[in-house]
Amino acid sequence: MAHRTFFLAADDVVQKGREAAAERLEAAVADIEFSAADGGVFRVAGTDKAVNLFQVAAALEGGDVAIGEGDGELLGEGGVSDRESTYPNGAHIVEVEVDPETGWPHLKRYSIVDDFGRVLNPLLALGQVHGGVAQGVGQALLETAVWDPDTGQPLTGSFMDYCMPRADDFPNFDAELTEASPSITNPLGVKGCGEAGSVGAIPAATLAVLDALRQAGVETLSTPLTPQKIWAALEAAKAKPG
């Protein structure tokens, strides 16, 4: 929420700066243009009469100009409601091959399209998605906690026993971001990214493996779909009569 608050506070600074610049340049507020690209310059439209942001702030602090009931400082305020939600969307498509000899589910292709509204840093957003996918696939196919049934002692107490996904468990991700539908509940048009990768990866990877197993006669299997569990299900399907 902080980025939206800063955005609105910056707008407030610009508006107050336009009022102060109008008084300094002896022009109407409506005629004052602000250009951030020029380093923060207030200019009377169609003329070369201009002052920059720092000159406006100094004029206010020195009492050369005054706006409203301000205290001589160029300050801005902004606030947003944390009850206004955003609604990201996405689609994950997984192609998987299951090795019947070992039960290992090999991810061959992974395609993603995500809608996070307006994306401020695409590289960071895609990295977040990639990490979330790895987390979700790990939950769906590899990670399982085991306890001793008599003592309750964890038997998967280290990464020697608890299987975490590694880079070689994944193909290259074919991931795209679309900005076709910016959010209407905040001024930046952004939507949440967070753990979108894991939200999509868990059902996509699970259903892809179950679809492959169904062709071998395995009707259902609970997650995590570990190689051992898959192998046992395939062997049980082979042993069924008929």
Instruction: Express each pLDDT in 127-164 by its tens digit.
Output: 999 999 999 999 999 999 999 999 999 999 999 999 99
User: pLDDT at position 242, please?
Assistant: 65
Q: For the CA atoms of 209, 214, 219, 221, what is the dihedral angle to 10 degrees?
A: -20
How would residue 202 be classed by pLDDT, with cut points 50, 70 and 90? very high
* 0.85 surpassed by pTM: no
For 65-121, the pLDDT digits (tens) are 777 665 678 877 777 666 778 889 999 999 999 999 999 999 999 999 999 999 999
Cβ neighbours of 167 (radius 10 Å):
6
Question: What strands lie across the sheet with 173-178, from one edge to the other?
Answer: 89-98, 105-115, 173-178
Q: Which residues contact 135 (CB under 8 A, 6 or more apart)?
A: 195, 197, 198, 201
Rounded to the nearest angstrom, the gap between the alpha carbon of residue 242 and the centroid of all alpha carbons in its chain is 49
Query: Could you tell me the two tokens for 168?
Result: 């070689």
End-to-end CA distance of the chain: 60
Q: For a pLDDT cut of 70, what percent of the chain falls above it?
A: 95
Residues 187-210: what's their mean pLDDT?
94
Q: Which domains occur in the chain, in start order?
A: 2-62 (no CATH), 89-239 (3.30.365.10)
Average pLDDT, the chain: 90
The Cα-based distances of 34 to 10, 45, 87, 195, 206 in angstroms read: 12, 9, 33, 38, 53
H or E element, residue 212: helix 196-214
Angle of the 53-62 helix axis to the 2-25 helix axis, nearest 10: 70
- 62 versus 94: the higher-pLDDT residue is 94
Query: Is 1's pLDDT higher than 60?
Result: no
User: pLDDT at position 70, please?
Assistant: 59
- 7 versus 61: the higher-pLDDT residue is 61
Query: Is 4's pLDDT higher than 90?
Result: no
